[in-house]
Structure 1
Amino acid sequence: MAELLLSNARVVTMDPACPSAQAVLARAGRIVRVGADAACRRAASAGARVIDCCGMVVLPGFIDPHLHLLAWAAALRAVDCTDARSIDEIVRRIRERAADLPPGTWVRAVGYDESRLAEGRHPTRWDLDAATTAHPVRLVHRSGHALVLNSRALALAGITVASEEPPGGVIDRRLSDGEPTGLLLEMNEVVARAVPPLPRAELVAGLREAGKRLLAAGITAVQDLSHTNGPDAANVLAALARESGFAPRLLPPAEGWPGDAAALSGDVARPIKVMLRETGERPVPDVAELAAIVRACHARGRAVAVHAVERRTVTAVVEAFTRAGVRGGEARHRIEHAGVCPPELARRIAALGLIVVSNPVFLAESGDRYLRDVAPADQPYLYDTAGLAAAGVRVAAGSDAPVVSADALATVRAAVTRTARSGTVLPGTGLDPERATALVTAAAAHAAGVEAELGRIAPGLAADLVVLSAEPHRAHARVAMTIIGGEVRWRREPDGEDRAYW
């Protein structure tokens, strides 16, 4: 593997021992020197590839420690409703896709947001029936925690007026007669039993596109946090990555809690994902059950990553760890999201040594909706990375793709500015730019347990780097080049064209 020298750069290392430099030299996929231009040039061999960065910013490659790769790949092959602004538009798009499919084939659609629709409501089964009755239709909400089925899909899923709701799930019903409207909350697993798997070729094509988008965003490593992952998920993802040419590094994926610790795989690098469902009167599982799960995983040397968004569920996680007598520290126990976390709760999280993997990019994507729907008293604490850091919590940030696109620059900007896409600034305190950059570099590496390999620019670490046109918190910053293992995997050409190298 040839040497690579990035020279004439503003290198931000995220390494306290050497915070800044002018050049980086990589050999055999690893960083061998960081420092002044002249010193790195002297250390380079005659055959080294030299890239003049023309004063651009060089950072460690961005890391996304919380996304859902296969769901994102599938979403990229589905009917895209993310920019739909009416139910009529959703129906039209689904009708067009159904016209290209044999009767009886499932139509998959994703990304609708009822708050952005002219009607101001969720679609119903009857709306989707207007698109097609010859095909079952599944329309997934942008959050991934709700979906709408047409009448044919409801029948195939066995959901009727007599159906009981599973623990943590909700079947929305018509008030007049109790008939399901097609809207289901936290019932993905129930519906998934009726939906055939996406053809492998489609999944591979979706993963290939996801890989290109990650490279264009400067993201060099990802961790899949899907609670549906089984013991074999790492092998499945690795095989699909090879088949699709997926270039970013695959970090150890989460493993869903199987209900019995004896059924866990033996891979201690993989965190155990627990979904704390928030739709009922109390979280599911409850505090006592969650404490038992935490104790069982901790005893086996496994980190626990608990999905908790609302204040009450974040509180339930803290209560469960307290009751379990378990602290984080090197165990790397995590709270995923912590969407509303006031200072008193942040201090308790810090005292327990828990990591929070937040999603400040949601402030950009959904900030206007939060201002409308979230209680004013809670708004300053929405994805409050500054407040968490001030309390002493180790905080990182992920995208939760496909909920939103994986965009590390948008994450950094949102953490600093707390600004919605409309330009409205949400209440609360922004994070300083250096710490915001750490959310997607050094802190993300620590959350995923790979800080000895990734997240900093230092001799001995993997040569995963991103070259930016400006500091990452600047509105005009763009990714110019993405490097993995000392090899350029994506770059923006002088003519403005994007090019991926597979």
Structure 2
Amino acid sequence: MTLSKIIPILLLFYITNVIANTTIISNIKGYSIENKQLKSFHALQFTNDKIDKLYLENDKVIIDENITVINGQGKTLLPGLIDAHGHVLSYGLSLLNVDLVGTTSEEEAVKRTLEYAKKNPDLDWIHGRGWNQVQWKKNTFPTAKTLDVVFPNQPVWLKRIDGHAGWANSKAMELAGITAKTTSPDGGEIIKDAKGRPTGVFIDNAMALIGAAIPPLTSEDKKIALKKAMHSLVSMGLTSVHDAGVDSSDIALYKSLAQSNQMPIRINAMLYLPSPEWQDTLDKGLYKSQDDLFLFNSVKIQADGALGSRGAALIEDYSDHAGNKGLLLHSSANLSKYIETAMTAGFQVNTHAIGDNANTLTLDLYEKLIDKTESQALRHRIEHAQILQLSDIPRFDQLGVIASMQATHATSDKNMAVERIGDKRILGAYAWRKLLNANAVIAAGSDFPVESPNPFFGLHASVTRQDHANTPENGWFPEEKMTRLESLKSFTIDAAYSGHQENIIGSLAEGKKADFILVEDDYFNMPEENIWKIKVLGTWVNGKQVFNIN
């Protein structure tokens, strides 16, 4: 036999006997979803990055010497959970900045910021995120004055929990050139006092006035934050995240991380429109890494602001603020231009819309432009779909538009939502059951770092409509609850569908990617009030274990 014939045989032997690594995880309570039904199994076998087989009730596990066996110790195995709306870089930066989540007063937020500054004396600017004036006793926006007492000479910039408002001290405003004469930009507001002086709070597009004075992050800064975020996310049981609003430089960073095998999680990136070089990036087309860990096939456009800062665009006035209908961040003409440009280029369009006015406007534009561009197959989405006119709910299914929603927003907003929009409009808000009954697809997420990225918090909120203290009794507007199966479906196969990835992830089946998690508790057979406490023991992505609690 010639050498030219021997080499291919040796290569085949190498591929099948060395590269092909087969593993079986046995002694598990396995769950997946198939054809909208729950499927149970007691062992899972995979080779490299693909699933070979699920061992059903009467299937016997046969193991040979070439197979690695992991004893699941009777724990629960679930498909990898997918967050259809998060902000990876912002989350990574939040892990590196002042954490203001859970503060109960303006004074406590200042105290935390000072403690952080003392631990990080080399910083030029102090950054933080997470304050929420609605949860403070005074329930009023903070002011620069309280920060100025302890930070007279160092600029401070603290973003609200939803990212739609920021709190600056006087030094930050000085560096940004903000004075009483500075006017609010379109789609934004500079909060001023009775004498017309900026108080230190900037809403939506006005935040860019402070942002312009902040030295930009370097590529290395961003890489550090992205990697920190991704490793944190897999520890919570997430195997895929849709990054809701990145720029062209972020896409380049993700490509670099994927090519150098530094991504422990799948990222589906949405290009923010408008952002620097967005048109050139669209012209280059869709992108997918060879291992499917990085995908770019969609854009993110923001129609309005957030409810907590009264930036969500409403048809009628806020119930607690006469004369205020919120903010549309783009003119109808510009919003239409961005949507049509992306659709024509073959990209899925994901539009942030929280208020009923923003949702109706977006659906109206979708109805017109989907037909014009013949792009219904792209599965366009509305991100949040938070406050809907009841007449708009059936339109999601009719237009083939996905409702990308975050369950924990309901349990976080329940203390102020009725106050903001009243008893009538609330019936179309956070309306998961009404959407499901109208055959809409709900892709679940968290909107981290606005909320915790822990997907079990979202699963718990979907099922109970309660916070972690089990309030209110029976749940907040309990008629909108999901079943446990529906909730898991929204975090798995439906979230995968919303990213055009349902053929490779979202459920556990032969030939699909080996993305799964091993958890301590049995999601389907435990008290529902404890779902948020579920502990992740291990996470596998592409057949590789990327997190181990030990």
Normalising by the residue count of structure 1, what TM-score does the alignment of the two structures yield?
0.90
2:410 corresponds to 1:366: no
2:41 corresponds to 1:21: yes
Aligned mates of 1:201, 1:301 — CA distance in 2 = 31
1:426 corresponds to = 476
Q: Are the aligned partners of 1:91 and 1:130 in contact in 2 as well (CA < 8 Å)?
A: no
Name structure 2 gaps, 5 residues minimum: 1-19, 287-295, 306-310, 314-324
1:158-197 correspondence to structure 2 within 5 Å: 158-175=177-194, 177-186=195-204, 187-197=206-216
Secondary structure of 1:434's counterpart equals helix
Q: Are the aligned partners of 2:248 and 2:276 in contact in 1 as well (CA < 8 Å)?
A: no
2:300 corresponds to = 273
1:245-324 correspondence to structure 2 within 5 Å: 245-258=262-275, 262-265=279-282, 266-268=284-286, 269-278=296-305, 279=311, 283-324=328-369
1:7 corresponds to = 26
Per-residue deviation at 1:465?
A: 0.4
Question: Given the alignment, which residue of 131, 152, 155 partners 1:136?
Answer: 155
1:14-53 correspondence to structure 2 within 5 Å: 14-16=33-35, 19-36=39-56, 39=59, 41-42=61-62, 44-53=63-72
Secondary structure of 1:152's counterpart equals helix
Q: Are the aligned partners of 2:133 and 2:140 in contact in 1 as well (CA < 8 Å)?
A: yes
Secondary structure of 1:271's counterpart equals strand
Aligned mates of 1:374, 1:242 — CA distance in 2 = 47
2:10 corresponds to = none
2:543 corresponds to = 486
Output the amino acid matched with 2:41: A
The Cα offsets for residues 430-457 of structure 1, whole Å up to 9 and x where unpaired, read as 1121111011100111111111211010
Task: Give the aligned CA root-mean-square deviation in angstroms.
Answer: 2.6
2:496 corresponds to 1:451: no
After TM superposition, the structure 1 stretch with the greater mean CA deviation from structure 2, 253-262 or 434-443, is 253-262
Normalising by the residue count of structure 2, what TM-score does the alignment of the two structures yield?
0.82
Secondary structure of 2:301's counterpart equals strand
Question: Given the alignment, which residue of 73, 81, 85 partners 2:92?
Answer: 73
Output the amino acid matched with 1:447: S
Distance change >3 Å, CA 90–CA 284, structure 1 → 2 = closer
Aligned mates of 1:352, 1:87 — CA distance in 2 = 44
Per-residue deviation at 1:234?
A: 2.0
Distance change >3 Å, CA 110–CA 40, structure 1 → 2 = farther
Aligned mates of 1:38, 1:153 — CA distance in 2 = 67
The Cα offsets for residues 55-79 of structure 1, whole Å up to 9 and x where unpaired, read as 4332210111211111111111111
Give the greater-gyration-radius structure (CA). 2
Q: Are the aligned partners of 2:466 and 2:476 in contact in 1 as well (CA < 8 Å)?
A: yes
2:143 corresponds to 1:98: no
Secondary structure of 1:172's counterpart equals strand
After TM superposition, the structure 1 stretch with the greater mean CA deviation from structure 2, 229-238 or 269-278, is 229-238
Aligned mates of 1:184, 1:246 — CA distance in 2 = 35
Per-residue deviation at 1:3?
A: 1.7
Aligned mates of 1:220, 1:396 — CA distance in 2 = 15
Output the amino acid matched with 1:393: A
After TM superposition, the structure 1 stretch with the greater mean CA deviation from structure 2, 184-193 or 428-437, is 184-193
Aligned mates of 1:221, 1:289 — CA distance in 2 = 31
Secondary structure of 1:411's counterpart equals helix
After TM superposition, the structure 1 stretch with the greater mean CA deviation from structure 2, 84-93 or 391-400, is 84-93
The Cα offsets for residues 146-183 of structure 1, whole Å up to 9 and x where unpaired, read as 001111101212222111221101010011x2111110
2:393 corresponds to 1:346: yes
Name structure 1 gaps, 5 residues minimum: 492-497
1:388-399 correspondence to structure 2 within 5 Å: 388-399=435-446
Distance change >3 Å, CA 409–CA 40, structure 1 → 2 = farther
Output the amino acid matched with 2:22: E
